[in-house]
Amino acid sequence: MGNKAMGTTLRWDNANTLPAAATTAGGVRISEDKNGWRSHNKPGSAVKQHICIIVHDFHDGGSEMMALRLAGEWLRQGRAVTIIAGSPDGRVRERVPPGVTVEVLDPPIPRSRLSLFRLGRGMVPALRKVAPDVLFLPGNFHFIVARAIRRHFPGLPIIAKVSNPLVPRLPGPLRRVAEAVVRLLLLAPIDKLAFISPELLAADSDVIGAARTPAVATVIADPNLPDGYSPPFRHGPQTPPLILAIGRMEPQKNLALAIRAFSALVARQKARLVILGEGRERAALEALVRLQGLDGMVEMPGFVPDVGAMLGQASLLLITSRYEGVPAALIEALAADVPVVSTNCSPSQKALIASPLHGRVVDDATPEHLAEAMAAVLTLPFATGGARAAGLCRHASDVSATRYLALFDSTCR
């Protein structure tokens, strides 16, 4: 770990042309340690901590959206923030907060099956240019870049958000092998892990190791609720009732199950399904809608940056993911007073869907069982005056951002 004193920004450089200590004309004293880190400190000055966020691109995933929200909050709380992206692709680039610097690799590294293995090495020149004080990885997807970055910058603090289970559900012997691989290849280069829920941390404590968990792991909720959030107005139930599904059209979200469950529901009562999201499974999902005879009952308008208006009309949110950390859509729905029907895709689902008023978690996630749960939830009060939103204040963006800054400061000492 690099040592950082108050009012000091550490930088590194390959040139190695300066003497061990020198003073610039502006009175800035520059010193270099044995690892090639350079300390730039003007006497009496207070230099902003510089946070760097690594993303592959500006894909419309939950991790990317939460990273942009944190970046804006960190900027408002007086830190400098730079995002380094492997590629400029993705529609959420337009949502980068003003004042946040964006560096895109040149040449870019577009997303592909093996692109993550190139991304870490590709980030090295950009990191030398940016010279951050701390590096933030916004989700499990980006963990693999830490290994290459650590080789080049041994003193750079690396903080990673754990957004999904570290190891998938596997039989005992296979899980133990997977845990060892994750520890060696993914976790070893990372200084601190921020789990997005206590249930997720408890489920993964064996992966980290019981002895190491208190030293390297903490819990910081995602900033699902933006600054100044107010819940959408609940207009009253639609006729027929509106069922909402929100998520990328990717295998993890298992939206084909949502369509089949909806088909089972409309065999017994009228309803309407709207799927908000985009992805590579769109054509297959559209074909499934036709096969199930659901034309006119299922809409797929694509990615919607602000889902508040749709939540204001929805009678329930349907989540059919295979696995999750804490689904952002779940927090957004409960904050908007919308009940949820969900597969048991996350260690946190039952803690958040804590009573029948909040909805149902379906352990045996067949279309028929999900349809039964939806039929029951559609009988619940449409609005509760905020009862479903109780206890979600930890997901406020300013609360989450402040907790991350405290973690950065303690790690960078």
Q: How confident is the model at residue 155 (pLDDT cuts 50, 70, 90)?
A: very high
Query: Is residue 197 located within the same domain as residue 57?
Result: yes
Question: 106 lies in a domain?
Answer: yes
Query: Is residue 117 located within the same domain as residue 166?
Result: yes
Query: Is residue 204 located within the same domain as residue 349?
Result: no
Query: Is residue 291 located within the same domain as residue 194?
Result: no
Contact present, 377 and 355 (Cβ < 8 Å): no
pLDDT in tens, 276-327: 999 999 999 999 999 999 999 999 999 998 899 999 999 999 999 999 999 9
Query: Is residue 265 located within the same domain as residue 401?
Result: no
β-pairing, 37-41 vs 9-12, is antiparallel
**The domain containing residue 188 runs over which residues?**
48-225+397-411
Q: How confident is the model at residue 47 (pLDDT cuts 50, 70, 90)?
A: low
Query: Is residue 251 located within the same domain as residue 381?
Result: yes
Question: 38 lies in a domain?
Answer: no
Query: Is residue 186 located within the same domain as residue 68?
Result: yes
Question: 235 lies in a domain?
Answer: no
In terms of Cα–Cα distance, which of 326, 263, 322 is closest to 297?
263
Question: 83 lies in a domain?
Answer: yes
Q: What is the CATH number of the domain that holds 289?
A: 3.40.50.2000
DSSP secondary structure letter of residue 192: E
Query: Is residue 186 located within the same domain as residue 301?
Result: no
Query: Is residue 97 located within the same domain as residue 188?
Result: yes
Q: How confident is the model at residue 349 (pLDDT cuts 50, 70, 90)?
A: very high
Judged against a pLDDT cut of 50, whether residue 344 lies above it is answered with: yes
Contact present, 127 and 50 (Cβ < 8 Å): no
Gyration radius from the chain CA atoms: 23
Residues contacting residue 314 through CB under 8 Å, at least 6 positions apart: 242, 243, 244, 333, 338
Query: Is residue 101 located within the same domain as residue 123?
Result: yes
Number of domains in the chain: 2
pLDDT in tens, 353-362: 999 999 999 9
Question: 14 lies in a domain?
Answer: no
Contact present, 380 and 339 (Cβ < 8 Å): yes
Question: 35 lies in a domain?
Answer: no
Query: Is residue 381 located within the same domain as residue 405?
Result: no
Query: Is residue 401 located within the same domain as residue 388?
Result: no
Q: How confident is the model at residue 18 (pLDDT cuts 50, 70, 90)?
A: very low
